Structure 1
């Protein structure tokens, strides 16, 4: 990545929020304001977010969110994410407050009806990576398909401030796959966390081997006669689901979004920020941000 170009940090709000909630809720203690509002996810979210800002020094930031479970993927495959449990009661009121916190920092909250946060991130990365370096902060390995010469994926590792930074080179070194091949592997093996099966009976090891050997799903299908009878039969029996799974795995980069880079520049009104964190009884965060709380 260039050191001269400005940097856009795209935050996967959903990934940070859930990670922040469960990291602190595991101890059984939920941080709350005097009025009883749970704030553990808000506090943890800010810690993860500001760690990344300090480490990667973006000039611009946008935060992307899911709007609801009603997406085009759910229409294509009604069981999509059908295995997800409801959000914990203590997390639900924090959804909107985290967005308010980002508003107070002057950071746009981006979402689109019928699409997921991933699609908003893919669209913004695609739209702006010719003009600036793009960094995606997430814990979701599906995002690796977005890696290119000007888009890096920052996968949060255990603990604060630990990241695996994926570029085309580090992705190839670690997995011997290109970003595009990440999608084809998911098409073959499916994704239990998103609840779509791929080709039943084909796991990650076989999927990776097939894509490495035949380059993509089309290459695999052109060479079915070279595969073992068992693998060939599984693919032939699940051909329709193979194509659907690849479609479900593909992050869309063409969502209609309104997001001007002028509004994404990381500059915030100190008084607004102080007021918000005092309201949430989190004055310590003001010190991280370099604003003086009263």
Structure 2
């Protein structure tokens, strides 16, 4: 029997990378674009093969821009809003999302979300509650905050793709950014993230943020040092100008760890839950080698 271990996918992050990373020429027999569907299956097959999980889940953004985060930082993801609360997403990708849900359902792999929360929050909650080694597959650096060496939680970061992904643990974070996992939220708040509409503190980039955290450990102690005149005048002035942002942004960047996550059967089966439906979807969507690779990966997985 294989050692129990959990694999959590940041679903939207994965299918966005599949969509933009694979050619649009990947189409179903009736002409529909299916590169995101096929790419997601390829990611799944690759990580099942490489990490032998016994439990798998796809975590979902029931709310991609929660109102409570926007209330704290109104610019949060604002540049990605098409209208109302609708995200700017290519139409060719939007059309594939229901297909992804259908394929995952046929496989019997749960898709887990919670109303009012993002996938990051679901992942952080499940990782914190996990009693087995847990890997998180994502292209989102914000999830580096869930890394916990003592609890055997690490991130499989897709910055370079599935085949060349980074295995992020505490040592990786210290080498790459000069911070520990428990400092990553404060590091991200200080540095900012334009892709999420978080401005950061003007004039404080990665190196300065890491240096401040190395000297003062966390945001509270950095602000205390500024009040005591222990920081460079330029840094003190920048922090003072951003003091309202800092507290709010910290709550926005921090993934919730107490989300009411519904209960699902997470155990990975060695075959699709509904083989006939999966075979039909594979034929209708022209999933070809992607479906075959996944079926082979499932068959080779050691049962629990």
For the criterion TM > 0.5, the same-fold answer is yes
- Asked if the contact 1:186–1:245 (Cα under 8 Å) also holds between the matched residues in 2, the reply is no
Pick aligned residue for 2:293 from 266, 274, 288: 288
Number of residue-to-residue matches in the alignment = 282
Structure 2 unmatched runs, 5+: 82-87, 297-304
Q: What is aligned with 1:48?
A: 43
1:242-261 alpha-carbon deviations (Å, 9 max, x no partner): 1111111111111101133x
- Asked if the contact 1:184–1:246 (Cα under 8 Å) also holds between the matched residues in 2, the reply is yes
Q: What is aligned with 2:84?
A: none
In 2, the alpha carbon distance for the partners of 1:100 and 1:14 equals 15
1:218-255 alpha-carbon deviations (Å, 9 max, x no partner): 11112111111111011112111111111111111111
Matched, 1:232 2:236: yes
- Asked if the contact 1:79–1:195 (Cα under 8 Å) also holds between the matched residues in 2, the reply is yes
In 1, the alpha carbon distance for the partners of 2:65 and 2:168 equals 30
Q: What is aligned with 1:136?
A: 136
**TM-score by structure 1 length?**
0.90
In 2, the alpha carbon distance for the partners of 1:226 and 1:54 equals 51
**TM-score by structure 2 length?**
0.87
The 1:44/1:10 distance shift into structure 2, 3 A limit, reads same
Matched, 1:61 2:59: no
- Asked if the contact 1:16–1:139 (Cα under 8 Å) also holds between the matched residues in 2, the reply is yes
Pick aligned residue for 2:262 from 258, 264, 288: 258
In 2, the alpha carbon distance for the partners of 1:176 and 1:93 equals 41
Higher RCO (C-alpha under 8 Å, 6+ residues apart): 2
Pick aligned residue for 1:279 from 277, 284, 297: 284
- Asked if the contact 2:177–2:206 (Cα under 8 Å) also holds between the matched residues in 1, the reply is no
- Asked if the contact 1:157–1:164 (Cα under 8 Å) also holds between the matched residues in 2, the reply is yes
The 1:232/1:87 distance shift into structure 2, 3 A limit, reads same
Q: Which runs of 4+ in 1 moved over 4 A?
A: none
| Matched position secondary structure for 2:156 | strand
| Matched position secondary structure for 1:9 | strand
Pick aligned residue for 1:77 from 67, 70, 73: 73
| Matched position secondary structure for 2:123 | helix
Matched, 1:241 2:228: no
Query: What is the alpha-carbon root mean square deviation over aligned residues?
Result: 1.8
Give the C-alpha shift of residue 160 in structure 1.
3.9
In 2, the alpha carbon distance for the partners of 1:210 and 1:221 equals 10
Q: What is aligned with 1:21?
A: 19
- Asked if the contact 1:187–1:244 (Cα under 8 Å) also holds between the matched residues in 2, the reply is no
